[in-house]
Amino acid sequence: MASGTIVKNVVEYIVTQIVEDTKSVKVEVADADDENVTIEVRTSPDDMGRVIGKRGRVARAIRTVAQAAADEEGLQSSVEFID
């Protein structure tokens, strides 16, 4: 299994549950090596506010869960929300 696949799947699942336009969600492993994985999240402009949340609370929660998933793979994760 490619490095960061679990993290990508977890983030993708969470984001698709939050947004209204699920077809516009794109979650990609932007960068991955033996220690780190970077996940990029794209949604429709209307849904980005939902995914980030008030004061970034939802985004922070997504990053926390992503790191928990990365711990399973022995990685450090970072999640970037790209508009």
- The pLDDT tens digits of the residues spanning 22-62 come to 999 999 999 989 999 999 999 999 999 999 999 999 999 99
pLDDT above 80 (res 16): yes
pLDDT above 80 (res 2): no
Distances (CA, A) of 41 to 2, 10, 30: 18, 12, 10
Helix 57-73 with 5-18: angle, nearest 10 deg: 150
For the chain, what percent of residues have pLDDT higher than 70? 99
The topology under which CATH files domain 5-82 is GMP Synthetase; Chain A, domain 3 (3.30.300)
What average pLDDT does the chain have?
94
